Amino acid sequence: MQDSQAVVASELQHHFRDMEQQRETATFGMWVFLITEIMFFGGMFAAYLIYRLSYYQSWVDGSNRMDITLGATNTAVLICSSLTMAMAVHSAQLGRRKLIVVFLILTLLLGGVFLCIKGVEYHDHWLNHEVPGPTFSNLDQHGVSKGWVDTPHTSLYFALYFAMTGMHALHMIIGVGLLTWLIIAASKGKFTSRYFAPVENVGLYWHFVDIVWIYLFPLLYLISKKHSG
């Protein structure tokens, strides 16, 4: 390892001792950024928690309008995309340039599938007057009552639902953009087994967005399912 370091002088920035230190610094920096992301989403989770404790029945009424099949499918889609992302980083570690591109494209496609399914759900909520605002109503698209106990506070549930899943979806869209950039760079052969920090750090970002959904799915769709009484 020592003698090969001179060869890659162009990849190694002068302020780092060696490639290992450079890689660890980049990963460390990415984790510090992810902490700010954890605190950003943490604020919304705190709001969710407090209002769920305050307006429990509205949370039950709201979450019973969620489509668990679509939510679970999306969870599976994101887990698949995390696997393909992990495999893209793995291919980069081994310096398999074509495989990096293949796995990044698979990740991008799965991210797209997630966003499409989320779009179907949003459209359904829109049709059933479940988007907070002047059209919000306890009547569904056929004019049938949903039996909500407290419509204004169910609107609060949906406001948080759209804020949390919307911010998550925005992160997915940014992730799709980052993946597109990576795919272009990887197909130009920019990444080697010595230098692949962008692939690794976008990977960390992608897994983080997956983790946010891992918490959003049970909190918004599942935990009140059997508590409608």
Partner 1 sequence: MAHEELSASGEHIVSPKLYVVVFLFLLLMTGLTVFAASVDLGWANPVVALVIATLKATTVVLFFMHIKYSTSMTKMVIIGALFFLFLLLGLTLTDYLSRPWMAYPSH
Question: Which parts of this chain interact with partner 1 (CB under 8 A)?
Answer: 1, 18-20, 22-24, 27-28, 31-32, 34-35, 38-39, 42-43, 45-46, 49-50, 53-54, 68, 72, 75-76, 79-80, 82-83, 85-87, 90, 93-95, 192-196, 203-204, 207-208, 210-211, 214-215, 217-219, 221-227
93 or 128: whose CB is closer to partner 1? Answer: 93
86 or 102: whose CB is closer to partner 1? Answer: 86
Per DSSP, the residues of 70-106 read HHHHHHHHHHHHHHHHHHHHHHHHTT-HHHHHHHHHH
Q: Which residues pair with 139 in a beta bridge?
A: 145
Tokens linked to 165: 């899943």
111 or 203: whose CB is closer to partner 1? Answer: 203
- The count of residues in the chain is 229
Question: Please, are residues 82 and 212 in contact by the beta-carbon 8 Å criterion?
Answer: no
20 or 166: whose CB is closer to partner 1? Answer: 20
Q: How far is the CB of 83 from partner 1 (least distance, A)?
A: 4
Q: How far is the CB of 211 from partner 1 (least distance, A)?
A: 5
87 or 101: whose CB is closer to partner 1? Answer: 87
191 closest CA partner among 180, 201, 181, 199: 199
Phi-psi region of 177 (alpha: psi -120 to 50; beta: other; left: phi over 0): alpha
Q: How far is the CB of 178 from partner 1 (least distance, A)?
A: 16
**Chain position carrying tokens 């698209």:** 141
Tokens linked to 227: 């508590």
Q: How far is the CB of 143 from partner 1 (least distance, A)?
A: 29
Using a CB cutoff of 8 Å and minimum separation of 24, what contacts does 130-133 make? 130/65, 130/158, 131/158, 131/162, 132/156, 132/158, 132/159, 132/162
Q: How far is the CB of 131 from partner 1 (least distance, A)?
A: 25
72 or 120: whose CB is closer to partner 1? Answer: 72
10 or 145: whose CB is closer to partner 1? Answer: 10
Q: How far is the CB of 77 from partner 1 (least distance, A)?
A: 11
Q: How far is the CB of 228 from partner 1 (least distance, A)?
A: 10
52 closest CA partner among 226, 229, 228, 224: 224
